[in-house]
Structure 1
């Protein structure tokens, strides 16, 4: 059992935050693209999907290459792409340039996330590291949601926030291992362990993430058009919801191994399904805020256990953590477009009902994997009181 005094992997947590921030800011990114660029709501959702698909592509491409290339080199390359891509998209006004910047930035986010996932899997307590990472990116995203509505109009503010975060993380990359820092020549040929469990989780995660981010991608529009909120009120709701997410992650850390992995993943997914149905059918502040806050409180709890579960399948090299995270990003990428199309064709309430039903179905195989893999004892997760939360995935939305 690792000691609660084990030094926290701050560079890894910073990378986690930089990599996951884009999915967490998806509602305001898509909403501002729709409001301030000559694109339709569906086209804005498609741009968000392109960003996240690029991120997923990076994860799949780099899953087995982090050791060979070196965590430091890959992290720096990803941060550079994020700064240039998101920064360029924030400054551009032509739609093609914004799309190109979003895709380049998304690839950078995926590269950074791949490095963070492999390093988290290598930690003595990957669940603890993942919960701290979710705390970090939740808090930062909440601060952005509170701040952006007061900084003026334009599509570029949330994109600039992602770029600046990547720039701020750069100095910490010097503490990451370089290529050749550890022997790995023979380990590169090692087959993936626990293949059946990994493949089931790999197949299930895109659908789980799609449901989350289909709602998260259109939550801004639900609040503005169906619940009749102002942008400032909407920002407060999202900030409070992300604050509830912080409490959820702290709750996951406090629960640790007490209920294993199957109960948090299975029961948590069922609760999320109910929250999505409530939020999507909301017509006033109370119902919208209630659904979003409850959903955001449950989402990171389940996500933290899923990240820990994936990491436990290949603790030596973290390949399942990267692959499952990238599969989650595929669902995240399809989420905004799926939510936009479903809501445009059938309305928000029907969209919510369809997503909730899908989550109930997908909860079964995910719980089965957790039951089998969770027979091994989970490490006790203890998050120290002094944990900083100034820096919150998927949204493995990852909104989500």
Structure 2
């Protein structure tokens, strides 16, 4: 187990590679809609298929990471991500693009499962998750700034995900092999804190669905309702992700001082308000304000949720994988849900429906966080220069 001061760079790299596809979902879906013969709803369905495949990988591999070996499984996931996303970026036939996206999604889910178990094994899982979110936010922001200037085509964001998987591959040599971290292989240990874990597994799909229903159509809100150019939308997303970097840094600096219940409960309520604002945007100011506020709050709450799930099974990280996979189910349904709601009722009504759902599920999430808060969290300290390092690395 790493010391509190040790930065687990291979784990952070895996986290970034696994989470990059959901972070780039608006530009992936937007470019599929713009450059392939598919409707907006069909493009959202392709994004949902990608993320559903990712969730499936997490559920299948939750209890198998130690048995198969983190190193072997991470390499398999990165290979699938590179082949799937890379193939989808190079072809134009819709069935082949769908197949590549689904294959790449399974690879992303595999990589994320490995990262989740390794995060849970850290002495301070919340610090590690915040650093991972810093990394993926910085890289996604760089992609949003770059892609609009590289030309047309559906493949550029997919290629960025594939190349990230390739770049992370050399770091997998520092991960443990099969059986290297097992405490015992004689009798499988039961899942601890079963009630709290099951509540999180039950509500996380709804929480993630609301986030990604908005995120999946945010590009279209900016282009069609706020009447912005693709380059302007890309700048807004990059600035918003930069605000997310500052938000996660603040969450990491606060660490356990606010407990878990307040950041998760109040943060979810704030996210609901941000979704309403962003979904009703009609100009640059309102669109930028909603997206920046939402992107500031979302990763903060997510970092506490990841740390909460990891704390429920610190020895093996099974709840971290299961909760993460449940979150991916909601993430998978998000683009299609957002597309259908906005097509039937418009973006503002979609935002109101999603916000109402978030306010309902904030209650059980807060209850679980309060119960887990009785176990003291370690103090989280993130060096001040971390965002600059992450941003420079991503650039």
TM-score range normalised by the length of the shorter chain? over 0.9
Relative distance call for 1:278 and 1:240 in structure 2 (3 A) is same
Q: Distance in 1 between matches of 2:2 and 2:95?
A: 50
Relative distance call for 1:2 and 1:101 in structure 2 (3 A) is closer
Q: Tell me if structure 2 keeps the 8 A contact 1:206–1:332.
A: yes
1:85-113 CA deviation, whole Å, 9 max, x = no partner?
00000001000000000000000000000
Relative distance call for 1:57 and 1:325 in structure 2 (3 A) is same
Shift of 1:5: 2.6
- Kindly indicate whether residue 2 of structure 2 is the aligned counterpart of residue 2 of structure 1: yes
1:264-313 CA deviation, whole Å, 9 max, x = no partner?
00000000000000000000000000000000000000000000000000
1:233-269 CA deviation, whole Å, 9 max, x = no partner?
0000000000000001001011111110000000000
Q: Distance in 2 between matches of 1:4 and 1:321?
A: 19
Q: Which stretch shows the higher mean deviation, 186-195 or 327-336?
A: 186-195
Q: Tell me if structure 2 keeps the 8 A contact 1:328–1:396.
A: no
TM-score by length of 1: 0.95
Q: Tell me if structure 1 keeps the 8 A contact 2:225–2:282.
A: yes
Shift of 1:385: 2.5
Q: Which stretch shows the higher mean deviation, 274-283 or 178-187?
A: 178-187
Q: Tell me if structure 2 keeps the 8 A contact 1:223–1:288.
A: yes
Shift of 1:398: 21
Shift of 1:395: 18
- Secondary structure of 1:189's match? coil
Q: Distance in 1 between matches of 2:36 and 2:279?
A: 25
Shift of 1:152: 0.0
Shift of 1:186: 3.6
Q: Distance in 2 between matches of 1:155 and 1:378?
A: 44
Q: Tell me if structure 2 keeps the 8 A contact 1:23–1:394.
A: no
Q: Distance in 1 between matches of 2:389 and 2:114?
A: 15
Shift of 1:396: 20
- Secondary structure of 2:374's match? coil
Relative distance call for 1:2 and 1:159 in structure 2 (3 A) is closer
Q: Tell me if structure 1 keeps the 8 A contact 2:142–2:394.
A: no
- Secondary structure of 2:379's match? coil
Relative distance call for 1:349 and 1:68 in structure 2 (3 A) is same
Aligned twin of 2:270: 271
Q: Tell me if structure 2 keeps the 8 A contact 1:280–1:348.
A: yes
Q: Which stretch shows the higher mean deviation, 329-338 or 379-388?
A: 379-388
Q: How does 1:127-142 map onto structure 2 within 5 Å?
A: 127-142=126-141
Q: Distance in 2 between matches of 1:287 and 1:347?
A: 17
Q: Distance in 2 between matches of 1:241 and 1:184?
A: 42
Relative distance call for 1:341 and 1:398 in structure 2 (3 A) is farther
Shift of 1:314: 0.1
1:18-76 CA deviation, whole Å, 9 max, x = no partner?
00000000000000000000000000000000000000000000000000000000000
Q: Tell me if structure 2 keeps the 8 A contact 1:310–1:320.
A: yes
Q: Tell me if structure 2 keeps the 8 A contact 1:209–1:396.
A: no
Shift of 1:181: 1.4
Q: Which stretch shows the higher mean deviation, 307-316 or 249-258?
A: 249-258
Q: Distance in 1 between matches of 2:361 and 2:187?
A: 32
Alignment partner of 1:395 out of 387, 390, 393: 390
Q: Tell me if structure 2 keeps the 8 A contact 1:328–1:394.
A: no
Q: Tell me if structure 2 keeps the 8 A contact 1:23–1:395.
A: no
Q: Tell me if structure 2 keeps the 8 A contact 1:33–1:155.
A: yes
Relative distance call for 1:304 and 1:195 in structure 2 (3 A) is same
- Secondary structure of 2:392's match? coil
Structure 1 residue ranges without an equivalent (≥5): none
- Structure with the larger RCO, 1 or 2 (CA within 8 Å, 6+ apart): 1
Q: Tell me if structure 1 keeps the 8 A contact 2:3–2:123.
A: no
TM-score by length of 2: 0.96
Shift of 1:188: 5.6
Q: Distance in 2 between matches of 1:215 and 1:187?
A: 46
Shift of 1:4: 5.0
